[in-house]
A and B are shown apart, each in its own frame.
Chain A
């Protein structure tokens, strides 16, 4: 299909501005994606017409707000192909979702001598909660190693996942290596030994179709802001039997069934995990973001972003003195690529690119164990979304050339 790029870009007015007097090429979508007008309008409309607290009023506005909030939950369920909206817990972020599983569920099923398996490429948010759980429980945290191309070494996975394994937790798409990971295979391996699979979907949700039932994920976590929703809204999907088993980790209003002076009982999932007034406008914004992405279709978005990566990746690889991390075959990737310019710290590179209007991330990307394995302290990282175009890619490649030239020239004149 021909991609309606102009129509899409018109929905993201933030893209139409000058940064440091240059055309903005926003290529830090892995950190956060911009919000389209239908999302900000949905949030505005909610505050202009419907705002009130959910699940408690007997009055009309509260019923409308509740309907909008629960309507968003249903949209998320459909988006993930979850069996029911009751399998969808609203949280603050991927991070909160993963911490909720690690505490609410991990503490129930992981005991002394057990093992938790993650990959060395995990974001700190899918690493530290398990590290802490292992420490609390007296369990061992084990790592699936990567092959040299940045994809999971499945021999290593087979060796790490044993009868002692209780939880396997991996990202569907890596936030540094950019690889699309074999989640379905890992689900089978985990289930074969009676372990549960937790998937960090932060870098997947706005880039490819997600079907939690097909993946056979026991839990699936993501953040709204990585798919065009406002910040502060996230999701935890859980299989219904597991959510029923899982304990709440926050207590307060809305999550209770009955409270006495000495005892309390909880509502059924998902409300037992949503203590206090939730992020109602955020959930409504997330619903609007889902509608927006689905209007173009996630499979089509994946195809389009793949075209962008198929243009970007070979150009990056062809630049002398540039190291690219992760798979060289764009088919194995999501829309993320980390790279370094030899002899130049990524912070220096990113400062130069910023002056040319190109916004990329530089740092350890919350993946310090992976950086240690790669033997670097940091990398630069570019990441695309459905609104990026070929001009953005050209501007990045041209920017890297200019930055390289600047530093090479300055060092030459310095010799």
Chain B
């Protein structure tokens, strides 16, 4: 196989998110933080969020990682800003399902926006953890917020 198959994983939109990430940074001390590490590669991602009236008012991420983890984090911040916490957590679950090759609803696919392009990660099992790192961090953060 040539590198053609790479194009299904590294679409232009994915590379664009990795090179010009959205919401890259760290929200102030009044926000919630959660840091997660991918133990296989040592990449660390910190996600910070502000929740107001049960809705994600802002979410940012920092940390270095591979193209997939950076693009995925950027796509996540775009998809989940302004989402109610419960809806966001449900979309995180849908994203996890999609990335492991499960079919998800057209509505969720639409709500995930650019992130839905990462469905092809399912063909690269070794990269699933890269794609889900930021999402798991945000989910942990929201779980703490809900508790």
Q: Which residues of A contact B (CB under 8 A)?
A: 20-22, 344-348, 351-352, 354-356, 362-364, 368, 371, 377-378, 402-403, 406-407, 410-411, 413-414
Q: Is the CB of A352 within 8 A of B6?
A: yes
Query: Which B residues from 1 to 45 make CB contacts under 8 A with A?
Result: 1-3, 5-7, 9-10, 12, 15-16, 19, 40-44
Contact B42 A406 (CB under 8 A): no
A64 to chain B, nearest CB (A): 43
Contact in complex: A364, B1 (CB < 8 Å): no
Of residues 55 through 101 on chain B, the ones whose CB sits less than 8 Å from some CB of chain A are 64-68
Of B5, B10, B15, B41, the contact of A377 (CB 8 Å cutoff): B41
**Stretch in B46-54, B107-115, B122-130 with 4+ CB within 8 Å of A:** B122-130
Task: Check if A377 sits within 8 Å of B43, measured CB to CB.
Answer: yes
Known contacts A348-B67, A355-B3, A378 near B12 by CB under 8 Å: no
Q: Helix, strand, loop or mixed for chain A's interface? A: helix
Q: Evaluate contact between A414 and B127: CB separation under 8 angstroms.
A: no
B43 contacts across to A, CB distance below 8 A: 345, 377-378
Cβ contact within 8 Å between A351 and B124 = yes
Contact B41 A362 (CB under 8 A): yes
Provide the residues of chain A in CB contact with B66, threshold 8 Å: 345-348
Which chain B residues lie closer than 8 Å to A371 at the CB level? 42
Min Cβ gap A19→B in Å is: 9
For chains A and B in complex, what number of residue pairs have CB atoms within 8 angstroms?
A: 73
Contact at B42–A355, with CB atoms within 8 Å?
Answer: no
Q: Is the CB of A411 within 8 A of B15?
A: yes
Question: Which residues from chain A contact B124 at a C-beta distance below 8 Å?
Answer: 351
Beyond A351-B9, A355-B6, 16 additional pairs, beta carbon < 8 A? A22-B1, A345-B43, A345-B66, A347-B126, A348-B68, A355-B1, A355-B5, A363-B40, A363-B41, A364-B41, A377-B41, A377-B43, A378-B41, A406-B6, A406-B10, A407-B10
Q: Which residue from A378, A403, A413, A414 sits with its C-beta under 8 Å from B42? A: A378
Q: A410-B12, A414-B16 are in contact. Are A402 and B3 (CB under 8 A)?
A: yes
A377-B44 contact given A345-B65, A414-B19, CB 8 Å threshold: yes
Q: Which residues of A contact B9 (CB under 8 A)?
A: 351
* Known A345-B67, A351-B126; contact A410-B5, beta-carbon cutoff 8 A: no
**A residues in contact with B126, CB < 8 Å:** 347, 351, 354
Name the A residues within 8 Å of B44 (CB-CB): 377
Rounded to whole angstroms, the CA-CA distance of A407 and B18 in the bound complex is 12
Instruction: Report the minimum CB–CB distance from A377 to chain B (whole Å).
Output: 4
10 cross-chain pairs, A with B, having the tightest CB-CB distances, nearest first: A345-B66, A364-B42, A347-B66, A20-B1, A21-B1, A377-B42, A363-B41, A378-B41, A348-B67, A406-B3
Q: List 19 A-B contacts (CB under 8 A).
A: A20-B5, A345-B66, A345-B67, A348-B66, A351-B6, A351-B124, A355-B2, A356-B3, A363-B40, A368-B42, A377-B41, A378-B41, A378-B42, A403-B3, A406-B6, A406-B10, A407-B10, A410-B12, A414-B16
